[in-house]
Amino acid sequence: MFKRILIANRGEIAVRIMRSSREMGIETVAIYHEIDRTAQFVNYADYAYRIEGETPKDAYLDMTQIIEIAKISDAEAIHPGYGFLSERAEFAKAVTDAGLKFIGPSHTSIEMMGNKTRAREIMFNAGVPIVPGTKEKITDTDRAIEIATEIGYPILLKAAAGGGGKGMRKVYESSDLVPSLEAAKREAMKAFGDESVYIEKYIENPKHIEIQVLADEHGNYIHLGERDCSIQRRHQKVIEEATSTVLTPELREEMGKVAVEAAKACNYANAGTIEFLLDKNKNYYFLEMNTRLQVEHPVTELVTGINLVKEQIKIAYGEVLSYKQDDIKLNGHALECRIYAEDSFNGFLPDTGKISYYRQPAGYGVRVDSGVETGSEVTIHFDPMLAKLITFGRDRIEAINRMEMALRNYKIKGVRTIIPFLLAVMQHPEFRYGYFDTGFIEHSFDFESLNRMKNEHEEIVAAIATWGWKMTQNANLATDTQPKISKWKEKNLYMRRLV
Ligand code: ADP
């Protein structure tokens, strides 16, 4: 096995990869920008090397520096985590060219799946159902009008180089198509440096269902079932779960087989995810393939009992998969909430600052993958996700109830987080019953209820302060205020649901 590996990432995922590496007896090398010098992942690593960059983010994207450090530190392999360089084919190639092992798929697989139109073409040829639309970028507006009319409005204009939920534009009628096309091209150019856009049919109220696959370098492929990632905000996942409430065992098996075919179509080796949209009639369509470890991988780990990072490392070392498809049994239910440093009560504005107090929940069935602790600085330089809270239960309701309890016990002071919002989702009847799709936050979630909860919370804080003050003024008042205490108690119960 490898003796030492470098983790080309930061935050919670760097810590998570280091944990599994250490368990396997592998030493870890961290790279960090000055701004992260006291971060948890830097302390956790066996060795840590500083990297430079014009901005902190640039430092983590500097392939040359990172590969140089891998060589200096005698690391044999590089794990890219997710984000940053994880889906850059040229990085995977440069790592391999430097005589190191890239813990991920080959650069050719990354390249094949990196461009959405190319990926659609490859999947179509492999017999994988794709969302109706074009398989090449739009160059001719007349042809675009024809295609849109053929598949029917509404349609979605998407950036071929898109990612992170960016670069999508919904078009409802033909008169909007041409101006939308121009705007979409401009947006795509600005966000990705590539103006190519293509057309997809807009699937109404779909579920986002993705299948985890594992493949070794010897041609063995398995799938580990699905994750339902339909709770999204601005097309970005917030809550994920395994398994999905809408998949029958038959459909799971069918989609699993299709996902394996999709992975084979790009000669995939290592862990990867095939994303699908599932419509109301249970038709599924390939959306894209993520050629890396996903943020939401822990829910799959909990229901399968398989440590995906360990598998990634073993595959990269050249080992044969130690599981066959028949060995994969899905057990219980797992939920993941992404803990973003954003203000739930103020349009999810990112918040920054020093974490003055941090206490994470624990207990049976509760897992926290976190990159922060008391004293950590949350800056504008990186993604605002601080941690992931994951719960496991014998069934979905147990996992939800456990999540509710864990969210209440999660104390983060100094920066605002979306914990109040996540709690409100856990209590939402449509979520609890499993009746939700990707439009849940937009259509079903009642932001007014969140604001009402906030106002009550503030009232309660004021009431407690007044009551406390009165108590110190006159001990006799204690009896007078008794009714208020019970009123407060009643409200306090409500408040505890909030924070
Ligand atoms: P990105 O790569 O930017 O994350 P994806 O293609 O993976 O974009 O899509 C992200 C999300 O956007 C999906 O999970 C879904 O909610 C929505 N979406 C994408 N394509 C469609 C479509 N054709 N119809 C309806 N919703 C879509």
Q: What is the DSSP string of 378-392?
A: E-TTS-SEEEEEEEE
> Looking at the structure, do residues 61 and 138 belong to the same domain, yes or no?
no
Same domain for 257 and 187, yes or no, is no
Look at residue 489 in the predicted model and tell me its pLDDT: 56
339, part of any domain? yes
Q: What value does the mean pLDDT of the chain take?
A: 93
Residue 414, Ramachandran bin (φ over 0: left; ψ between -120 and 50: alpha; else beta): left
- The answer to whether residues 168 and 157 touch, using CB atoms and an 8 Å cutoff, is yes
Q: Which atom from ligand 1 is nearest to the alpha carbon of 200?
A: 23
- If you measure from the C-alpha of residue 59 to the centroid of ligand 1, how many angstroms do you get, rounded to a whole number? 29
111-136 confidence digits (pLDDT tens) = 999 999 999 999 999 999 999 999 99
pLDDT tens per residue across span 479-492: 555 444 455 555 45
Residues 6 or more apart whose Cβ sits within 8 Å of residue 377: 35, 353, 354, 355
Residue of 416, 355, 350, 381 whose CA lies nearest to 36: 381
Tell me, yes or no, whether 401 and 491 share the same domain: no
Q: How far is the CA of 487 from the centre of ligand 1 (A)?
A: 47
Identify whether residues 177 and 197 lie together within a single domain: yes
Q: Whose CA is nearest to atom 18 of ligand 1?
A: 235
Kindly list the catalytic residues. Answer: 292
In a domain? residue 118: no
Q: Which two tokens stand for residue 373?
A: 């602790």
Q: Are residues 394 and 480 in the same domain?
A: no
* Same domain membership, residue 283 and residue 413: yes
The answer on 456 and 443 residing in a single domain is: no
Can you tell me which atom of ligand 1 is nearest the CA of 232? 16
112 found inside a domain:
no
Residue 477 pLDDT = 52
Nearest CA to ligand 1 atom 11: 235
CA-to-CA distance for 130 and 135, rounded, in angstroms? 9
CA 220 to chain centre: 27
CB within 8 Å of 176: residues ≥ 6 apart: none
Cα 412 to ligand 1 centroid, rounded to whole Å: 31
126 is a domain residue: no
Q: Count of domains in the chain?
A: 4
User: What is the dihedral angle through the alpha carbons of 13, 19, 20, 22, rounded to the nearest 10 degrees?
Assistant: 140
Ligand 1 centre to CA of 278 (Å) is: 11
Q: How confident is the model at residue 499 (pLDDT cuts 50, 70, 90)?
A: very low
Say how many Å lie between the CA of residue 120 and the centre of ligand 1.
14
DSSP track, 257-304: HHHHHHHHHTT--EEEEEEEEE-TTS-EEEEEEE-S--TTHHHHHHHH
The CATH number given to whatever domain includes residue 322 is 3.30.470.20
DSSP designation for 321: P
Residue nearest atom 9 in ligand 1 by C-alpha distance: 165
How far apart (Å, rounded) are the C-alpha atoms in residues 193 and 186? 10
Clarify whether residues 139 and 287 are in a common domain: no
Side-chain-side CA neighbours of 156 within 13 Å: the count stands at 17
Look at residue 459 in the predicted model and tell me its pLDDT: 75
- Can you give the pLDDT at residue 165? 80
User: For residues 182, 186, 192 and 195, what is the CA-based torsion angle, rounded to 10 degrees?
Assistant: 40
pLDDT tens digit sequence for 186-218: 999 999 999 999 999 999 999 999 999 999 999
Torsion from C-alpha of 389, 393, 395, 398, nearest 10 degrees: -80
Two tokens, residue 349: 């504005």
pLDDT at 476 over 70: no
CA–CA dist 208, 205 (Å, integer): 10
Whether 389 and 258 map to the same domain: the answer is yes
For residue 462, pLDDT over 80 is answered with no
- The burial of 477, by beta-carbon neighbours within 10 Å (0-12 exposed, 13-18 middle, 19 or more buried), is given as middle
11-15, 253-257, 418-422, 446-450: which has the minimum mean pLDDT? 446-450
Range of weakest confidence among 261-270, 323-332, 452-461:
452-461
Number of helices (H), then strands (E), in the chain:
18, 22
Query: Which residue is closest in CA terms to ligand 1's atom 14?
Result: 208
Q: Determine contact, residues 138/198, Cβ cutoff 8 Å.
A: yes
Two structure tokens written together for 94: 């440069």
**Cα gap 466→293, rounded to integer Å:** 51
- 86, 172, 205, 235, best to mutate for ligand 1 pocket (most atoms within 8 Å of CB): 235
Ligand 1 pocket test target in 207, 232, 287, 295 with most atoms within 8 Å of CB: 287
Integer Cα distance of 193 and 81 in angstroms:
24
Of the residues 182, 201, 220, which one is the last residue of a structural domain?
201
Residue 120 within a domain: no
Ligand 1 atom 21: residue of nearest CA: 202
Give the Å distance between the CA of 431 and the centre of ligand 1: 20
Q: β-strands 77-79, 4-7: how paired?
A: parallel
Q: Give the closest residue (by CA) to ligand 1 atom 23.
A: 202
Ligand 1 atom with the smallest distance to the CA of 204 is 25
H/E segment holding residue 32: strand 27-33
Inside any domain, residue 121: no
Q: Which residues span the domain enclosing 47?
A: 4-103
Question: How many angstroms from the chain centroid is the CA of residue 175?
Answer: 36
- Protein residues whose CB sits closer than 6 Å to any atom of ligand 1: 131, 156, 162-166, 200-203, 206, 208, 232, 235, 275, 277, 287-288, 438
Cα–Cα distance measured from residue 444 to residue 430, given in angstroms and rounded to the nearest whole number? 8
Output Rg (C-alpha) for the chain, integer angstroms.
Answer: 24
Which of 27-36, 115-124, 156-165, 226-235 comes out lowest in average pLDDT? Answer: 156-165
Lowest mean pLDDT among 28-42, 131-145, 382-396: 131-145
Q: How far is the CA of 9 from the centre of ligand 1 (A)?
A: 25
